Amino acid sequence: MNFSTARQVPDDAQVLGVPVFAGRTMPDGAGVDLDLDYLARRKFDGKAGQVLALAADDGSTVVAVGVGEPAKVTVDSMRRAAAALLGAAGDATSIATTLLAAIPPSIDKKAAAQAIAEGMALAAYRFTTYKSEADRPSVETVTVVGGGQAALDRGARVAEAVALARDLVNEPAGAMTPTRLAELATEIAEREGLTINVLDEVAIENEGLGALRGVSLGSDEPPRLIELVYEPAGRSRGTVALVGKGITFDSGGLSLKTADGMMTMKTDMAGGAAVLATMAALPALGIKTKVIGLIPTTENMPGGKAIKPGDVLKARNGKTIEVLNTDAEGRLVLADGLSLAVEAKPDAIIDLATLTGAQVVALGRRIAGLMATNDSLLEQVEVAADKAGEPVWELPLPDIYRKDIDSEIADVKNIGRPGQAGTLIAGLFLREFTGDVPWVHMDIAGPARSDEDDAYLRKGGTGFGVRTLLELLTSFTRPS
């Protein structure tokens, strides 16, 4: 899908998408005057997400796109409106839109244009690798009237990164093994000019990554530790380490999940997928922040050599961990990933992980949970997430619960009290491996996967976190 800008609607556009506010009012610059009485008869009133296709006299199609109340139009409104327009385009190969006419003066026009490209491209996403017949949108060209080309190009590249993360998550676990993930990371690094270092199972043991190694023991598939480095041209804004949980399949280990609980466990590497996809986009976007990406990746299986409840593992930073539940394995591999990140002495660390079912209970399928040791960094992540249209909510790291991970025989244990504050306990556990470096933990257990198509989301992996990370890294400042 190619995006371009124009000052007016091109004559050869097969579909023209025009914005309509709630109450069937049209903004100046919409491009055409619609028959508002006809819209009323068709029960179209301009609510956000509504679309109505109308035949034009020249044989083209005009699509009325509802954008909601004028005062409530946001950048994400543009993203969602563009997705709705794509869905109404039918078999058209060329679309033009005047959606930017609906943005209020308070909204940055470049951000809105970028969002239109993102929404259109993400709505067109389909994972069809294993389909005999693929049903894809036919749109090839999109013209955004009044948009800036640089903003559209950026939106298209961001959407490409999100699509990569979705692809990685949607692949069956039998195909997307830790070894294959490392191979793909190597291919991406070579193509994009990133530095990469991959540790195999021997190096993982030699480097003292005992938690990652321990989780991997039950699987026939060997683990990998993927390290990617992006060096910006010119002066850097600072250094950020990204750590992504890369459990390519989670059976729960000997603390075995139910059959239903395993059905979507290929999604358990969504944090690692988000980190890899983010790293892939940094050179093209010209990000001025140095970024280190760390992805500890393995399967969690109940084989004969699997760790047992009560076993003790030693993480990279020297801390010992009593494993009382082998299904709380994500925090174990992150312990080694975070320890390595601290050794790199970055200005900030951000980890992403489908870490706890409790996060879904607390915040549902659309909102990620954030925990942090630094308010300045937390605010930057929250601002970036808001701009990216990826909802997040701060959760506490209450010291009153710290004693719940005290172990009788090791430094810490990997679970707290059953059924109590599961997401917070996981955050407190991870904090043990972050040293003094400002750190934000993003639990994406809910929003990493969608159970239905909705606007620019497709059922399956969502690529959640990629847009937030790219927005953050673009404007990153060293935390105070």
Q: What's the Cα-to-Cα distance from 375 to each of 256, 370, 390, 479, rounded to whole Å?
A: 38, 11, 19, 8
Instruction: State how far the Cα of 461 lies from the Cα of 168, in Å rounded to an integer.
Output: 8
Can you give the residue ranges of every domain in the chain? 2-147, 171-475
Reply yes or no on whether 387 is catalytic: no
Name 63's Cβ contacts closer than 8 Å, sequence gap at least 6. 15, 16, 17, 18, 51, 52, 53, 54, 85, 88, 89
The pair of structure tokens assigned to 288 is 């001025």
Reply yes or no on whether 257 is catalytic: yes
Instruction: State how far the Cα of 411 lies from the Cα of 399, in Å rounded to an integer.
Output: 16
Nearest to 222, CA basis, from 180, 178, 184 = 178
> What is the CATH architecture of 171-475?
3-Layer(aba) Sandwich (3.40)
According to CATH, the topology of domain 2-147 is Leucine Aminopeptidase, subunit E; domain 1 (3.40.220)
Catalytic residue among 79, 157, 245, 331: 331
Cα torsion angle, 306, 307, 313, 316, sign: positive
Task: Give 397-444 pLDDT, tens digit per residue.
Answer: 999 999 999 999 999 999 999 999 999 999 999 999 999 999 999 999
Instruction: State how far the Cα of 127 lies from the Cα of 265, in Å rounded to an integer.
Output: 17
Instruction: State how far the Cα of 117 lies from the Cα of 120, in Å rounded to an integer.
Output: 5
Q: What is the mean pLDDT of each run of 10 residues along the chain (480 residues)?
A: 94 94 93 90 95 87 96 96 95 96 95 98 96 87 96 98 98 98 98 98 98 98 98 96 98 98 98 98 98 98 98 98 98 98 98 98 97 98 98 98 98 97 98 98 98 95 98 97
Name 231's Cβ contacts closer than 8 Å, sequence gap at least 6. 195, 290
Supply the pTM of this predicted model: 0.97
Task: Give 107-129 pLDDT, tens digit per residue.
Answer: 999 999 999 999 999 999 999 99
Cα torsion angle, 355, 358, 364, 370, sign: negative
Catalytic residue among 257, 288, 319, 366: 257
Task: Give 139-161 pLDDT, tens digit per residue.
Answer: 999 999 999 999 999 999 999 99
Share of the chain above pLDDT 70, in %: 100
Name 464's Cβ contacts closer than 8 Å, sequence gap at least 6. 270, 274, 368, 390, 444, 447, 448
